[in-house]
Amino acid sequence: MRNVLVISHMYPSSANGVLGIFVHKQVQKLIEEGCKVKVICPVPYVPSFLGLSDKLKAYIQIPKSAVIDGVEVFYPRYIEFPRGFFLEYSGFFMYLGIKKIIKKIYRNFKFEIIHAHTAIPVGFSAMLLSDNYGCPFVVTIHGQDFQYTINKNDKCRKNVYRVLEKSNSVITVSTKLKNVIKENKIREKITVINNGINPEEYGSIELTKSEKDYVILSVSSLIKTKGIDLNIRAVSILVKKYPNMKYYIAGDGEEVKNLKKLASDLSLTENVVFLGRLPHVEAIKFMGKCDIFSLPSWQEGFGIVYIEAMNNGVPVIGVKGQGIEDVIIDKENGFLVEPHSVEDLVGTIEYILNNEEEARRIGEEGRKTVLSEYTWRRNAQKTIDIYNSIIE
């Protein structure tokens, strides 16, 4: 049994019940596997007189602590500048904001290891705390550090690498992220542990649909890198042969207006349906209804949504060279297409529609893959192995 202090600025709260839900799922399984865990979720400090917008008011209203599904979570405040200003110093500001509550927690909870989610800002603060308490720390890289932070400026890059070098172990959620690191000294301490799902939370969902309809689904934030426009362009070609094709887009984001205009310009208003942001349960229901789940995202650290769809036995399309390549073997348990290629996407979708029995077999193989290796229980077990190897 290990005493673990988890620090993550992505964690469910009264302001956002799904933010960092993947960290919460892991924590729950760590506890089920025998660890004792307390969670620190630093929250940006907002003076009461600035709480004018709904977002700022929500930050103010987050309690100092809460118990979520049996997990004790603390929400200390720290200074954060908007729009990523002074990001290179954010880890130090976070350390100043959380060190007092951690000192108080340590009196009754002698944590043996600190697990930080992200290098900047969380890992930097964990690095300083590790020195204070003489205990090791592990950092998990989910994607933002390598896809954004290290490219922001030289100081950010140096601080990310400083955290990685001083950490006792580094976890990346995909091989793609591990391959960003070329320095052997850091690479040798990196372990790839993919995210997962809890199969027990997913019922067997069977929804009826017209046999004449071919249903494609994507679930994501509507941002450029998700490749939703590629799906729309593929559908504009495929509807000429499959006029009853429907493409359902679940999600919301900055690209929604552009995507709706694209669908209109391509005369697809009857074929492309924007569902908006759906509750998680509703999104899963749509996965049970679709013929194909397609998300040609070209900047994806891992992507839990792919394995959620695979768990439904649905043929899933991802992109070569992205995090999901750890899971999908092309034409064995899913499909992989070239990035930015509408032509490859069209060919893959048509292959699935024209080979129903083969597509059904591949979908079932995908489900078996998820159940055997990509659950939060397996994730927690692998993570505990790392804790034990460090502490022992």
Q: Please, which pLDDT band fits residue 113 given cuts at 50, 70 and 90?
A: very high
Tokens of 327: 């899971």
Provide the pLDDT for residue 204.
Answer: 53
Q: Indicate if the pLDDT at residue 135 is higher than 90.
A: yes
Quick one: the chain helix, strand, coil %, rounded to 5? Answer: 50, 20, 35
Q: Is 112 helix (H, G, I), strand (E, B) or coil?
A: coil
- Give every CB contact of residue 65 below 8 A, 6+ residues apart in sequence: 72, 73, 74, 75
Residue 76's CB: how many other CB atoms inside 10 A? 18
- pLDDT tens, residue by residue, 283-292: 888 898 899 9
What are the backbone angles phi and psi of residue 244, rounded to the nearest 5°?
Answer: -90, 15
DSSP H helices, the chain, are 21-32, 54-61, 90-106, 124-133, 144, 150-152, 154-166, 175-178, 184-187, 228-238, 256-265, 280-289, 304-311, 342-354, 356-373, 376-391
Concatenating the DSSP letter of every residue in 324-386 gives GGGT--BTTTBEEE-TT-HHHHHHHHHHHHH-HHHHHHHHHHHHHHHHHH-BHHHHHHHHHHH
Q: Indicate if the pLDDT at residue 206 is higher than 90.
A: no
CB 76 within 8 A of CB 98: yes
Q: Indicate if the pLDDT at residue 209 is higher than 60.
A: no
Q: Indicate if the pLDDT at residue 302 is higher than 50.
A: yes
Tokens of 361: 């077999």
Q: Indicate if the pLDDT at residue 69 is higher than 80.
A: yes
Tell me the longest C-alpha to C-alpha distance in the chain: 68
- Which helix (H) or strand (E) segment holds residue 214: the answer is strand 214-219
Mean pLDDT of all residues in the chain? 94
Provide the pLDDT for residue 207.
Answer: 46
Q: What percent of the chain has pLDDT over 70?
A: 97
Q: What number is the average pLDDT over the span 58-65?
A: 91
Q: Indicate if the pLDDT at residue 208 is higher than 60.
A: no
Provide the pLDDT for residue 203.
Answer: 65
What are the backbone angles phi and psi of residue 317, rounded to the nearest 5°?
Answer: -110, 120
- Give every CB contact of residue 135 below 8 A, 6+ residues apart in sequence: 111, 112, 113, 114
- pLDDT tens, residue by residue, 220-271: 999 999 999 999 999 999 999 999 999 999 999 999 999 999 999 999 999 9
- pLDDT tens, residue by residue, 166-188: 999 999 999 999 999 999 999 99
Tokens of 358: 């083969």
For residues 306 and 219, what is the distance between their CA atoms, to the nearest angstrom?
9
Provide the pLDDT for residue 20.
Answer: 92
Domains detected in the chain: 3-196+376-391 (3.40.50.2000), 200-373 (3.40.50.2000)
For residues 330 and 192, what is the distance between their CA atoms, to the nearest angstrom?
20
What are the backbone angles phi and psi of residue 344, rounded to the nearest 5°?
Answer: -65, -40
- pLDDT tens, residue by residue, 2-52: 999 999 999 999 988 888 999 999 999 999 999 999 999 999 998 877 656
CB 11 within 8 A of CB 41: yes
Sign of the torsion angle spanned by Cα atoms 263, 266, 268, 269: positive
pTM of the predicted protein model: 0.88
Q: End-to-end CA distance of the chain: give it in Å, rounded.
A: 12
